Chains A and B, each alone.
Chain A
Amino acid sequence: MADLINLIENWLEKLMLGWGASQELTLFILQALGSVLVVIICFVIVIALIWVERKLAGRIQDRFGPNRAGPFGIFQSFADIIKIFTKEYITPEGAEKGFYNVAPVLAIASVLAIWAVFPFAINVLGADIHVGVLYIVAVGSFGILAILMAGWSSNNRYSLLGASRSVAMLISYEIPMVVSLLVPVLLAHSMKLSDIISAQHPWWNLIVAPLAALVFLISSMAEIGKAPFDLLEAESELVAGYHTEYSGMKFGMFYVAEFLHQYTGGALITIFFLGGWGGPLAVQWPILGFIYFHFKTFLVYLVISWIRLSLPRIRIDAMLNLNWKFLIPVSFINLIAVAIADRVMLEFSVDKWIYVGIMFGLNIFILLVSLFLAGKASPEVERETFPANRPVAVPPGAESK
């Protein structure tokens, strides 16, 4: 019972070998079954996440969320899915048919492909490749291509404008994301995701490298396209950005891709900074590792939703300034400082406690210095002061001053 997933896999393997299938065919079928299972789990999770997001948004904004479709509105997602399935596909005239239809599929494929390398427990992994970290970044860049394809082939200038702005933001924020991802790689001396999780065994990377976690959180939110970086679909500015001209299930695929990307971003933060499937008794009972992984990912997902629902959207030039003038120098200096500190402390072979303390202090020091410098560099804004008897709206019938 403790190792449920491997138990099922071994039983299936014996069954197929008993039917006379060759070893390679069995392996192939089991791996295909595993990937189909991961995809199905992802879609089921997204259905639940849409409900959570809407309820949470409602409560944070001091209103009820959906509460008509079933008790507490839990069937709202199913109602939405049925509605989206039955909508008509309106293809704009002049759209390039092939690429217009391929773009949503590419968007969702690029997010699903990231799930291939996630370790869910100590012996439940998809593909334990040696370059796992780089694979994640590389596959994420397919989504950018999907946005460009969608924006251009819609034959709509607002789509194109939205797509160009989104792509400019996405490729800019890839840089601090990759550089801050290099810090856990440095600390674990390997690019395999299972090694990175094993290296976080006593102390999570959140404590050893908090600045990298912060930079990665901010750039992940920009990559996903969640507020305050949500000009990908700035409803009040650009109709709906690059998915203006999509209706029905094609829009549904973009929508699902966005929620799944948010959950995937949470999973990445969990793996790199929160210890992945680690937790009490996770090594002896692998099924607990699976549960811890999803629990931590869900927590990070809630944090991202919380930030999204509390902050307004940043203007695009302020956003690009934040990236190029603050996040990139900070992430580079962080990487260099962590590399030097790690090497020096390796020379002296210090205790684990002192190591963690020095790393934590170094990160906080760099963060404070960079915030201080950023504060010095921005100009003093003349705040407008209101006069004492400023005009106030009075209800009709009251005395007017």
Chain B
Amino acid sequence: MVSVLVFAAISLVTLGGAIAVVTNKNVLHSAYFLVLAFVGVASVYVLLEAPFIAVIQVLIYIGAIAILIIFAIMLTRRLMSKDLEERNQQWIWAALGALLLFGVLGWLVYSANWPVSEIAVPKEQITLMGEELLSTYVVPFEIASVLLLAALVGSILIGREKDQESRSAE
């Protein structure tokens, strides 16, 4: 009974935050509600007994990505025009499409017969994950580090000021 209440509260926070993200006129307020949605998702991970993923979610999404998004919003504000319409012309069709997708997906997922098993969650998750990352999944692990290096170099190059063109061409 308590777990149902907790799940209901967490889903309310997550979905409420998400709806506030996509319907708010002020894009900075959307970013703050995005942080709320991320906190809700981290709580879902805690409910699913995956504490490592929950903490990594807070660390990466809230501690890095949300701050990056807020910085980018602060750097790209034009005038603080209050009458800037935030929805484009096809928002009705977008809403209908999203609702249809949710209906189909939700019904499919709710009525499917999943092979749920009652195995208990292992205690030493980090040790197991470390062993698997370095033995079974070592190739994606290394490729992920190369991807991060490429993203790092790429974003610095793209975001650089272009007032030293003659020097940067050498």
Chain A positions within 8 Å of B, measured between CB atoms, are: 96, 99, 129-131, 134-135, 137-139, 141-142, 144-145, 148-149, 152, 160, 164, 167, 171, 174, 191
* Nearest CB in chain B: distance from A261 CB, A: 16
Asked if residues B64 and A152 are in contact (CB atoms below 8 Å), the reply is no
B67 to A149, Cβ gap below 8 A?
A: no
Q: Which of A145, A152, A164 contacts B62 (CB 8 A)?
A: A145
Q: For residue B52, which residues in chain A have a CB less than 8 angstroms away from its CB? A: 130-131, 134
Q: Are B126 and A145 in contact (CB under 8 A)?
A: no
Binding site for A on B (CB under 8 A): 28-29, 32, 35, 51-52, 55-56, 58-59, 62-64, 66-67, 70-71, 74, 123-126
Residues of A contacting B126 with CB < 8 Å?
130-131, 191
B51's nearest neighbour on chain A, judged by CB, is A131
Q: Does B64 lie within 8 Å of A171, measured CB to CB?
A: yes
CA distance A145 to B35 in the complex (A): 9
Residues of B within 8 A of A171 (CB): 64, 67
Give the CA-CA distance A174 to B67 in the complex, in Å.
13
Chain A residues contacting B29 (CB-CB under 8 Å) are: 96, 99
Q: A140's closest neighbor in chain B, by CB? A: B63
| Residue of B with least CB distance to A129 | B51
Contact in complex: A130, B51 (CB < 8 Å): yes
Q: How far is the CA of A174 from the CA of B64 in the complex (A)?
A: 10
Name 20 A/B residue pairs within 8 A (Cβ), A-sorted: A96-B29, A99-B29, A99-B32, A130-B52, A131-B51, A131-B55, A134-B55, A134-B56, A137-B59, A137-B63, A138-B55, A138-B56, A141-B62, A141-B64, A141-B67, A145-B66, A145-B67, A148-B70, A152-B28, A164-B74
Given the complex, which residues of A lie within 8 Å of B66, measured CB to CB?
145
Indicate if the CB atoms of A130 and B125 lie closer than 8 Å.
yes
Contact A160 B51 (CB under 8 A): no
- Contact of B59 with A134 in the complex, beta carbons under 8 Å: yes
Q: Which residues of A contact B62 (CB under 8 A)?
A: 138, 141-142, 145
In contact, B125 and A141 (Cβ under 8 angstroms): no
CA distance A130 to B71 in the complex (A): 33
Contact A144-B74, Cβ < 8 Å, known A130-B52, A131-B51? no
**How far does the alpha carbon of A135 sit from the alpha carbon of B45 in the complex, in Å?**
14
Known contacts A134-B56, A152-B70; 7 additional CB pairs below 8 A are A130-B124, A137-B59, A148-B67, A148-B71, A152-B28, A164-B71, A167-B67
Q: Is the interface of A mostly helix, strand, loop or mixed?
A: helix
Measured CA separation A144–B59 after assembly (Å): 12
In the complex the two chains form, what is the Cα distance from A134 to B29 in whole Å?
28
Closest chain-B Cβ to A354's Cβ sits at a distance in Å of: 27
Separation of A144 and B67 alpha carbons in the complex (Å):
8
Contacts of B28 in A (CB 8 A): 152
- Max chain A Cβ within 10 angstroms of own Cβ: one of B58, B63, B71: B63
Query: A152 contacts which chain B residues (CB < 8 A)?
Result: 28, 70, 74
Tell me the nearest residue of chain A to B55, going by C-beta: A134
Closest residue of chain A to B58 (Cβ to Cβ) is: A138
Which 3 A-B pairs have CB atoms at the shortest separation, nearest pair first? A141-B63, A138-B58, A138-B59
B residues near A135, Cβ cutoff 8 Å = 55
> Distance in Å from the Cβ of A396 to the closest Cβ of chain B?
54
B108 to chain A, nearest CB (A): 34
- Which residue of chain B lies nearest to A139 when distances are taken between CB atoms in the complex? B58
Distance in Å: Cβ of B31 to nearest Cβ of chain A: 9
A237 to chain B, nearest CB (A): 20
Residue of B32, B35, B71, B124 near A167 (CB, 8 A) is B71
- Please give the distance in Å from A205's CB to the nearest CB on chain B: 20
**B90 CB → nearest A CB, Å:** 30
CA distance A138 to B66 in the complex (A): 13
List B contacts of A131 (CB < 8 A): 51-52, 55, 126
| Cα-based distance from A167 to B72 in the complex (angstroms) | 13
With the chains together, A134 CA to B53 CA distance in Å? 10
CB distance from A103 to the nearest CB of B (A): 10
Instruction: Give Cα distance in the complex from A323 to B28, angstroms.
Output: 29
B51: chain A residues within 8 A (beta carbon): 129-131
Provide the bound-state CA to CA distance between A129 and B49, in Å.
12
